[in-house]
Structure 1
Amino acid sequence: MSQYTSRSESDVGIRLRLGKQPRLCAVIKDRYSDFHVNEIDPDGNIVKLTSLTAPVDNSAAEALKDPQIITLIPEDVRQKIGDMQERLNAVVDKRNIKNDKECVEIKATDLEKESRTRIHRWISTFDKLSSETVDKDGDKFITIVAMKGGDRGKRRPANRAKYTHCVLYKEGVETSEAIGFIAKKLNMNPGFISYAGIKDKRAKTSQRLCISNIEASRLVSICKYRQNIKLGNFAYHPKPIALGDLKGNHFKLLLKNLRFSEGDEIENLGLNDVVTSAMESLASAGFINYYGMQRFGSYAVSTHQVGLEVLKQNWIKAYDLLLSPKPNDPSFLAKAKDLWLKERDPIGARSMLPSRFVTIESNLLHGLARSYARNDFVAVFLNMPRPQRLLYVHAYQSLMWNRVASFRVEEYGIDSPVVGDLVYVGEGEEEILEFEVNDALNDVREHSASDSKSAPKKLEVKTLTQEDINSAKYTIYDVLIPLYGSDVKFPENKTKDFLTKMLEDEGISSDCFERFRPIGDKPTGGYRKLLVRPTNVSHTLHTYSDSDNLDSYIKSDWEELNEASPSNGESARAKTDDSSTTTDSSTSKKTCLVLAFSLPSSSYATMALREIIMEQDKSCHRNDDANKISQIEPSTKQEQAHNDDPSEAEPSLKKPKVAE
């Protein structure tokens, strides 16, 4: 039976690091509050939630000052109309407007048709109101009511751009879940909400959202429905936000119980010395830009293993891997998988699944039930969502990239480029690989032709000559490693020989990429920087006791907006020195590290952490006994429930002290 694996980094080609100092042990991402991610927009600005108020809309106020209308409509009636528009602007769900009963009447018996027309045109400038002339008891009245269906069919104010940009702040929630929730409250298709990329679930994150044809005032009201989802920093823009439309991400991390690994030689070195050396190395030298462990899955059957069989078009073997048992399978799915694996009965296996049960395995079994008998295995594969289909081959490409990167560093070092290396021709540009855009696609917004505007651009690549090396124009940070595919160049040095030999050993040829089916998923490949240097690097060390509130060391956007202060003041921020960090047994003091850095999009924070901390499946990460660790766990029952099962509880956010 498949189960969670203890696969090591070396299994997926992650073997080297640039720093020479000993790596430390720490408890990483113990709670979601230990991990903060802020998007970096295309202009290089770190996205932060700093305001919850909507932009002031003066259109209604200006309309009320229309001199022609002032002479036709009494002031108190004009004010009622303005108040009605403002109230309707704050309604989140447009369906509620249909039931609005308020009505403002203007007696129009003595008005000429031209004047009545002018009033109707004036009302049309309010995007939530409609008007009509009615006869009642022998008199004419112009009635103003809420437009049924909200602002459908109404023109956007001339001075307001089409797209509303805002900052989404979330805690312990997937980006797709947050967008689905927002869309439901607005009664709109999630496709009208766009974003640059997904952010971690087990983290406190801030990112940009874009919503088409929506007033910011409606979005303000959404914040009251979920304590762990907030929207703010509203602005109107003429252009939408597209997938991949970001420069990178800024990370803030809290690493607990920082210490030396048993057996490390630490003579004449203190914890502070090692951390300082590691952070200086990270900032100056950077790290190898490996694809992280999360790309390869957490079960005994890895995504790259499936990808290898898909590349070879060994469909049955690929499907067997995908339908291998997992320890958390519900009983009906376990039986369905067993029936397929033992008797090759996809129709019988499909019949065991509930009609509303939708997973990768159910999609696959439905496809097999329809196409297995006629041996149409590509049609079976097409029954899976495209982002999921792409995942497997991309995982194998990532494994190859990691292995090639390790070879390049071992063979030629990291001092400078060598003849035959690849670099981009343009300066200051970097290609976003297709699957790095598609990684952001999910069940909320699937890839389609409409996403073509988000498709990554191909950049020109050149092979370095001796003349280029002599010119010193390029550095090691310009060197690219190809992600093998049907449309890439290869280094003209020993790196190419290593890559070719590796593919031969795996039974892979260029034909596997050139003749890949389905054609629409053909892996064209791309390029990725060999090394990455983080920017905005900083760190602080603190000593603490298990009873201390460590959240005071790493404030989120929401907490900063709320102007929260540590309840225990400066006493919790004990000054770090070597004696306090090396006498844990006698003082019960531990050390935590708060570090921050910015990375380009598609680079992995966990790979940057490798320069400081040992790989996360090492036992030293949690070699404390269970009750010691439990003292560092969430301090409230509500947050503990959230960590165990996110569906059972939401993190509680205090109301910020902001002006109404």
Structure 2
Amino acid sequence: MEEDADYRSRFSSLCYINDHVGFCGTIKGSPSDFVVIEINEQGQLVDKAIDEPICKISKILPEPSNLGKNIKLDLQNCSCEDESNQELNTLARCSSSDQNHQSGTENEETVEGPSKCEKEKADILGSLLDEETNELLNQFACKIKEKWNSENELIKSSSPEFSLGKILEKNQRAVLHSAVRQKFPFLITVGRNSEIVIKPNLEYKELCHLVSEEEACDFFKYLDAKKENSKFTFKPDMNKDHRKAVHHFVNKRFGNLVETKSFSELNYNADNSNVVITVRFREKVHRQRKRSLLECEERKVTYTAFTLQKENLEMYEAVEFLAIKLGVIPSDFSYAGLKDKKAITYQTMVVRKVTPERLKNIGKEVKKRRMNVFNIRPVDDSLRLGQLKGNHFDIVIRNLKKQINDSANLKERISEAIQNVKDKGFVNYYGPQRFGKGRKIHTDQIGLALLKSEMMRAVKLFLTPEDLDDPVNRAKKYFLQTEDAKVTLSMMPEFKAREKALLESLHRFGMTEEGCVQAWFSFPHSMRIFYVHAYSSKIWNEAVSYRLSTYGSRVVEGDLVCLDEDINDEHFSNSKIHLVTEEEESANTYAIHQVVLPVLGYNIQYPKNKVGQWYHEILKRDGLQTCRFKVPTLKLNVPGCYRQILKYPHNLSYQLMEEHDIDVEMEGSHINEALSLLISFDLDTSCYATVCLREIMKHDV
């Protein structure tokens, strides 16, 4: 079929990171061969564990774009010895003191008289580091300050560093990261394979050219503390151009995390001398900015969490059915991520305005639709996309065979392939299900039309029929021929809820550009932006393949690397992204697993090498050279993000099984022995099992 050929051409051209031979096999022969179990934020499998109340999770979870780890979060998850807990509590009190101190007032402490808080931080560093390392750290900090005081600029190429060595305990690393940054705001800490490396904070130095060193010090302490609903205020500034420069610096460097505004302080002279710049942390994405009294009352409605098990069902189909049975709308359901259709999947969901009792009452009807709901309990808030640790997979690969012209032992090939990916990882492509495998029109094509504001074309692409003679495709074909939404609506089967919603809107508003805009609003925001994200995902896949085929596994000048080793999602700020220098390439400072590439949006930077040029050429090819990745008519804003080019499977295990099939022939029957592979592993959020298997098998699955 045409669509299958297009799928094969898309993925077969994408390169691999490993050089083993691989093998062939069949996955998803049946839903039971592909089991997906969500891993919640506490690291528990949701098919067995009773989750913690969602409200507690969401209230303490740090924003993905935060600059560092929130010590309050680490305190609640810590399992250290009593002595370590005392140190953590001390640091938490200290951090809280800093946050209160920086809530808008000027810093009153002097350099000669350090506060009790800073002494406590020093004590923490002294207790967590040996005496020699602590002394060397202080000497390193003093040298950086002396160099900055004696020179106009710190020479970037010199890149002085100091290592605290490897610290295996994650909680201890988090404490050290924060303690160092709070005590020395002019330094940054970077994680490298459990090692903490300390460098000069060049952004601190840059800010010192605009404001006093005292203000720069307080500002970076404020950023690192990350106290929700707090603010930081720079000293009054009468120079409008200078204020503009400060605004530009903060928004360019930390725009994902904070926002700035100028305010006139109350005075009776009415001049500009008391205009100040105030910095606030951005509100969390999953929260609305302002709520009326009525909306605040709505926040008091019931939220019920449950585990949804579904088999061979699309997420949207399952949600539509549950919504009808419960008398709510699909947008009342929230979840952490989409799951495969042709599989048995388990995931946590939350529904608004439904009591646990009501949900339990529809259990028998739910089971008739290849679904089950259990672990039902009341919670205080909804879920948001990405609010999970990852997914666990139990997969059976059947009909195992060697690659064509491979004479080696099949079992050895399988063992070699799995070990290679376990050790070296896999290319972190977006999986084929993101684009609609097996369909004539892929989701990224619709996303490109939306980005170009071609609303009518996007609608026609959405309603393009497959080469099948069934009621759904007959209805779609009729619409493309006649553009008669009313008749098409009567032809469309009831279970096609999205298509019917779109057609109802077209019938009401007409098949015009404006009518098509209104038709897209019949979809929830998450679905509208899904298509745009699909286009960005396709370009990212092609970009990482180009990057690896051009430079291989070397980290080269102009690459982008992530400076935080504990990132497990895509949403980290520009301040965590570093552009590799020529000197760092020569010194092999970074490893390939630290390299990231941008997922298209308005707030990303591109690599400064051939890969960056490739991005611009692709955008020009697709007519997006002036695109700002905002579609105001559909209320879509796509800031973009960064995605690691390599990922690793966790807790990987496998077992080979011999299956016996009876082959009936004209003269009798005989038994064929077929080899199957049962493989289990965990993947971080936003990783695809089919992509990991593709790297293992060296075969499009």
TM-score, normalised on structure 1?
Answer: 0.58
Q: Write the distance in 2 (CA, Å) between the matches of 1:529 and 1:278.
A: 22
Q: Write the distance in 2 (CA, Å) between the matches of 1:329 and 1:459.
A: 53
Where does 1:11-410 land on structure 2 (aligned, <5 Å)? Answer: 11=10, 14-49=13-48, 165-176=305-316, 178=318, 193-210=333-350, 223-227=363-367, 228-233=370-375, 240-261=382-403, 263-266=404-407, 269-297=408-436, 298-328=438-468, 334=474, 337-338=477-478, 340-341=480-481, 346=483, 348-354=484-490, 364=502, 376=514, 379-380=517-518, 382-385=520-523, 386-410=525-549
1:421, distance to aligned residue in structure 2 (A): 1.8
Where does 1:441-480 land on structure 2 (aligned, <5 Å)? Answer: 460-466=576-582, 474-480=590-596
Partner of 2:686: 602
Q: How has the CA–CA distance of structure 1 residues 211 and 300 changed in structure 2, closer, same or farther, with 3 Å as cutoff?
A: closer
1:49, distance to aligned residue in structure 2 (A): 2.6
Q: Write the distance in 1 (CA, Å) between the matches of 2:498 and 2:315.
A: 20
1:295, distance to aligned residue in structure 2 (A): 2.2
Letter in 1 for 2:548: V
Instruction: Answer with 1 or 2: which has the greater Rg.
Output: 1
SS of 2:449's equivalent?
A: helix
1:21, distance to aligned residue in structure 2 (A): 2.2
Kept after mapping to 2: 8 A contact 1:340/1:349:
no
Letter in 2 for 1:321: L
Partner of 1:592: 676
Corresponding residue pairs, total: 441
Kept after mapping to 2: 8 A contact 1:336/1:353:
no
Partner of 2:614: 498
Letter in 2 for 1:398: S
Q: How has the CA–CA distance of structure 1 residues 3 and 273 changed in structure 2, closer, same or farther, with 3 Å as cutoff?
A: closer
Letter in 2 for 1:258: L
| Structure 2, unpaired ranges of 5+ | 52-300, 664-668
Q: Write the distance in 1 (CA, Å) between the matches of 2:503 and 2:360.
A: 43
Q: How has the CA–CA distance of structure 1 residues 165 and 459 changed in structure 2, closer, same or farther, with 3 Å as cutoff?
A: farther
Kept after mapping to 2: 8 A contact 1:35/1:253:
yes
Q: Write the distance in 2 (CA, Å) between the matches of 1:36 and 1:214.
A: 28
SS of 2:48's equivalent?
A: coil
SS of 1:242's equivalent?
A: coil
Greater fraction helix: 2
1:299, distance to aligned residue in structure 2 (A): 2.5
Q: 1:542-562: per-residue Cα shift (whole Å, max 9, x none)?
A: 1111269xxxxxxxxxxxxxx
Q: How has the CA–CA distance of structure 1 residues 468 and 603 changed in structure 2, closer, same or farther, with 3 Å as cutoff?
A: same
Q: Write the distance in 1 (CA, Å) between the matches of 2:633 and 2:640.
A: 16
1:608, distance to aligned residue in structure 2 (A): 0.6
Letter in 2 for 1:543: E
Identity in percent: 31
Letter in 1 for 2:6: R
Kept after mapping to 2: 8 A contact 1:332/1:352:
no
Q: Write the distance in 1 (CA, Å) between the matches of 2:461 and 2:324.
A: 36
SS of 2:461's equivalent?
A: helix
Confirm or deny that 1:613 pairs with 2:697: yes
Q: 1:23-76: per-residue Cα shift (whole Å, max 9, x none)?
A: 322121111110111111113233333689xxxxxxxxxxxxxxxxxxxxxxxx
Q: How has the CA–CA distance of structure 1 residues 421 and 203 changed in structure 2, closer, same or farther, with 3 Å as cutoff?
A: same
1:242, distance to aligned residue in structure 2 (A): 3.1
SS of 2:6's equivalent?
A: coil
Letter in 2 for 1:475: A
Tell me how large the CA RMSD over aligned residues is.
3.9
Q: 1:302-358: per-residue Cα shift (whole Å, max 9, x none)?
A: 3323333333334454444344343346569747755655xxx64x45344319866
Q: Write the distance in 2 (CA, Å) between the matches of 1:340 and 1:404.
A: 34
Kept after mapping to 2: 8 A contact 1:41/1:246:
yes
Letter in 2 for 1:491: P
Where does 1:561-576 land on structure 2 (aligned, <5 Å)? Answer: none
1:179, distance to aligned residue in structure 2 (A): 5.1
Q: 1:554-603: per-residue Cα shift (whole Å, max 9, x none)?
A: xxxxxxxxxxxxxxxxxxxxxxxxxxxxxxx9861110000011111111
Letter in 2 for 1:265: D
Q: Write the distance in 1 (CA, Å) between the matches of 2:691 and 2:414.
A: 16
Partner of 1:110: none
Kept after mapping to 1: 8 A contact 2:394/2:680:
yes
Q: How has the CA–CA distance of structure 1 residues 374 and 328 changed in structure 2, closer, same or farther, with 3 Å as cutoff?
A: closer
Q: How has the CA–CA distance of structure 1 residues 41 and 305 changed in structure 2, closer, same or farther, with 3 Å as cutoff?
A: same
1:229, distance to aligned residue in structure 2 (A): 3.7
Kept after mapping to 2: 8 A contact 1:3/1:327:
no
SS of 2:20's equivalent?
A: coil
